[in-house]
């Protein structure tokens, strides 16, 4: 038998209590019992998103909410801007294209964050741009984009909204939707929300709801107005993934019990320890600018294929970490520390990384990473 560990940036481990909750007999989604669950979930989602708005719920992976954020906010031929500095930024661009939106990209070198000035410049060059699509945390590169500064630029423009894919940021770092004027914030269930994949969420500002009113792109399942109306009656428009909603109720209780501030602190501390540990081993962070607290992206040592690292660590120690994608494939590996993660997950990941790198012939001082992680987590 081999014990398994999941340290990939989604799906992430699910707390045992939540797994047990989700194994209970299924509740009918039109029964009064379900409405009680949904009422609590709706209230607590507002706490998580730090918003007064209704948080929409869809049964899909996160990309479903991304697609809905194009089809519900724009019309064919509308101008949009996508910040493209990784896989998920590319996805924004591709969804816009699929819906005949006239999309431009602010291209950002992988591993870098976009500069607010570059976004402002693009907006000044094309005043017709109605929507700016961005990731808060670009999971493919491990970078954190300065969404607050970008929101500051967009909030004064009446005809432009900001859509933030916060799938590995919400519940990891402070992202107060209403306070920062983030017009749309979306997330999915399988990352910081510690659930299996299958739910997607989006919350819209009043300004963004105004865009929904004018949108003429085709939509059917991901119809934001329809879902909002149903939620107002403690129902979902269509059959939701009931078990995941039951799990979500428990997750949101636990997040509330810990308190958002503590949740952000915990992620900050795990991220800090992981970064210090890999650097103490002589490795280099892939992220040039501010890294995301959800995961740490690291260059594989000179001459060692990152694919070998992820393969060996899985086969020999039952640990799943992520490799790089596209241009970063074989060159980087990514260790996640989001959601149901604690200090001994970092210790486990670093310890296994040391063992694997040693086996692959990388020269470094054994325990240097562990020592740095322990110092960061537990003090001198
Ligand atoms: C995981 C992720 C998504 C959504 O991917 P799905 O596989 O559709 O859930 C989108 N954006 C970011 C930043 C992500 O990390």
Q: How far is the centre of ligand 1, averaged over its atoms, from the C-alpha of 23 (Å)?
A: 25
Torsion angle (degrees, nearest 10) of CA 115, 121, 122, 127: 140
Question: Where do we find the tokens 């910081």?
Answer: 192
Question: Of all atoms in ligand 1, which is nearest to the CA of residue 137?
Answer: 13
Q: Using one digit for the tens of pLDDT, what is the confidence trace for 236-260?
A: 999 999 999 999 999 999 999 999 9
By CB neighbour count within 10 A (0-12 exposed, 13-18 middle, 19+ buried), where does 42 fall?
Answer: middle
Which residue among 84, 168, 193 is best mutated to probe the pocket of ligand 1, counting the most ligand atoms within 8 A of its Cβ? Answer: 168
CB–CB of 53/177 below 8 Å? yes
pLDDT of residue 37: 98
For the CA of 135, the closest atom of ligand 1 is: 13
What is the number of the ligand 1 atom nearest to the C-alpha of 188? 9
Return the pLDDT at 135. 98
**What are the structural domain ranges in the chain?**
5-11+259-378, 16-257
Q: Could you report the per-residue pLDDT of 90-116, keeping only the tens digit for each?
A: 999 999 999 999 999 999 999 999 999
Q: What is the pLDDT of residue 222?
A: 98
Going by alpha carbons, the residue nearest to atom 15 of ligand 1 is 139
Q: What is the pLDDT of residue 214?
A: 98
- Ligand 1 lining (C-beta closer than 6 Å): 10, 61-63, 88, 135, 139, 165, 167-168, 188, 191, 197
With a cut of 90, say whether residue 277 has pLDDT above it.
Answer: yes
The two structure tokens encoding residue 124: 């000044």
Provide the mean pLDDT of the chain. Answer: 98
Q: Which CATH number fits domain 16-257: 3.30.450.40, 1.20.1300.10, 3.40.640.10, 3.40.120.10?
A: 3.40.640.10
The residue among 320, 335, 326 whose CA lies nearest residue 283 is 335
Q: How far is the CA of 169 from the centre of ligand 1 (A)?
A: 11
Percent of the chain whose predicted confidence (pLDDT) is above 90:
99
Residue 233 has pLDDT above 90, yes or no: yes
pTM for this structure?
A: 0.98
Q: Which two tokens stand for residue 9?
A: 């940036």
**pLDDT (tens digit per residue) in 127-185:** 999 999 999 999 999 999 999 999 999 999 999 999 999 999 999 999 999 999 999 99
Distance CA 273, CA 175 (A): 22
Q: What pLDDT band is residue 376 in, cutting at 50, 70 and 90?
A: very high
CATH of domain 5-11+259-378: 3.90.1150.10
Q: Is the pLDDT of residue 53 over 90?
A: yes
Query: Is residue 380 scored above 80 in pLDDT?
Result: no
Q: How much distance in Å is there from the Cα of 63 to the middle of ligand 1?
A: 6
pLDDT digits (tens, 9 = 90+) for 337-359: 999 999 999 999 999 999 999 99
How far apart are the CA of 198 and the centre of ligand 1, in A? 11
């Amino acid at each position: 038998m081999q014990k398994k560990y999941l340290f990939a940036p989604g799906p992430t481990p699910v707390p045992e209590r939540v797994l047990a909750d989700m194994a209970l007999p299924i509740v009918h989604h039109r029964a009064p019992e379900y409405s009680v669950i949904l009422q609590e979930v709706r209230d607590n989602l507002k706490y998580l998103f730090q918003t007064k708005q209704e948080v929409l719920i869809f049964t899909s992976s996160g990309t479903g909410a991304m697609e809905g954020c194009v089809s519900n906010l724009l019309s064919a031929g509308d101008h949009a801007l996508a910040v493209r500095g990784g896989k998920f930024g590319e996805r924004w661009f591709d969804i816009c294209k699929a819906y005949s939106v006239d999309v431009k990209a602010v291209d950002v070198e992988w591993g870098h964050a976009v500069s607010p000035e570059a976004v402002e410049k693009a907006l000044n060059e094309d005043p017709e741009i109605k929507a700016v699509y961005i990731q808060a945390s670009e999971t493919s590169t491990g970078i954190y984009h300065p969404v607050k500064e970008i929101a500051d630029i967009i909030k004064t423009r009446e005809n432009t909204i900001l859509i933030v894919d916060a799938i590995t940021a919400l519940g990891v770092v402070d992202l107060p939707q209403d306070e920062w004027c983030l017009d749309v914030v979306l997330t999915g269930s399988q990352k910081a929300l510690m659930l299996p994949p299958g739910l997607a969420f989006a919350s819209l500002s009043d300004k963004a709801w105004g865009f929904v009113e004018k949108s003429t792109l085709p939509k059917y399942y991901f119809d934001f107005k329809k879902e909002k109306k149903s939620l107002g009656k403690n129902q979902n428009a269509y059959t939701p993934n009931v078990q995941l909603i039951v799990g979500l109720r428990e997750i949101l209780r636990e997040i509330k019990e810990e308190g958002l501030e503590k949740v952000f602190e915990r992620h900050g501390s795990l991220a800090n320890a992981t970064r210090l540990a890999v650097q103490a081993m002589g490795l280099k962070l892939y992220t040039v600018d501010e890294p995301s607290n959800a995961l740490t992206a690291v260059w594989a040592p000179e001459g060692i294929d990152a694919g070998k690292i992820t393969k060996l660590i899985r086969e020999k120690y039952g640990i799943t970490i992520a490799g790089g994608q596209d241009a970063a494939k074989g060159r980087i590996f990514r260790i996640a520390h989001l959601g149901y993660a604690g200090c001994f997950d970092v210790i486990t990941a670093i310890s296994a990384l040391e063992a694997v790198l040693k086996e692959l012939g990388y020269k470094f001082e054994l325990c240097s990473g562990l020592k740095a992680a322990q110092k960061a987590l537990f003090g001198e």
